[in-house]
Amino acid sequence: MKIRVAGAQVPEGRDIEANAAAIERGIQFARSQRADMLLTPEGALSGYTHEFDAAAVRKALKRILARAKEARVGLALGTCFVEPKDGKCYNQLRLYRPDGTYLGFHSKILTCGTWDTPPKGEINHYAVAPLRTFRYSGIRVGALICNDLWANPGCTPIPDPHLTQQLAGQGARILLHAANCGSSKKSERDRRDVAWDYHGSNLRMRARAGKLWIVTVNRSNGPARCGSQSGVVDPEGNWACRAKPKGEQFFAYTIRV
């Protein structure tokens, strides 16, 4: 079995219309590459914030889904979203088939927060749903968001539950990973190389441990290097495909399982 995946390393911010336009550029790229699915960064549509316009996100999502269906491109779409069933806000990766069928969502589990008591940060703003897998093109896939995979001890007080291993145990062969990390702020510069190395090592080690393909995409970070590499890691822990680490970038790769 095989699946052709595309990734969109695109900018993300508070401007939902600008975010949607970037995602649409990704859809057009995926269409040109005859990709089955496009993966976007964490918070790609809403912005990486719980303080977003929920109505505007729903409206933009409807337009993006129409574009993707027309292009026959499935989506693994990163966005924060208020679920109508429970009224709770989730940091999600939403999965759709090329025909527009909605498969469900993964919500970020290792939400970021400080080590204060009680902790501060997004850990207080997002609801969490149980870990699950999805059936896509006959292949079992899993999804994780940013810190879900690398469990950075400086970003969350939550113990590492080794979610990649859990997904492998649930039968996943491919893992879709939407990230949003890296900063051009002066306060971040000293630790940028450390974070880059840590994130890259985690991607490779966890792919190898779980015998998983990992497709990962980070947001672009303006002129600065991203906080983690975008691309595809094979089950032996080798990079099969890598995007350039700066600016808006797109990639496509055919995975055979």
171 phi-psi bin (left φ>0, alpha ψ -120 to 50, beta other): left
d(CA 176, CA 76): 8
Q: What is the pLDDT of residue 191?
A: 60
Q: How many domains does the chain have?
A: 1
Q: For residue 192, give both structure tokens.
A: 């940028």
Work out the number of other CB atoms within 10 angstroms of the CB of residue 130.
7
Q: What is the CATH number of the domain that holds 251?
A: 3.60.110.10
| Beta bridge partners of residue 75, listed in sequence order | 38, 96
- Which SS3 state, helix, strand or coil, does residue 113 take? coil
Strand 231-233: give its sheet, edge to edge: 133-136, 139-145, 174-178, 213-217, 231-233, 239-242
Residue type, 28: Q
- Residue 140 belongs to domain spanning: 2-256
Q: What is the pLDDT along the chain (257 residues), one digit of tens a residue?
A: 999 999 999 999 999 999 999 999 999 999 999 999 999 999 999 999 999 999 999 999 999 999 999 999 999 999 999 999 999 999 999 999 999 999 999 999 999 999 999 999 999 999 999 999 999 999 999 999 999 999 999 899 999 999 999 999 999 999 999 999 876 554 455 567 888 999 999 999 999 999 999 999 999 988 889 999 999 999 999 999 999 999 999 999 999 99
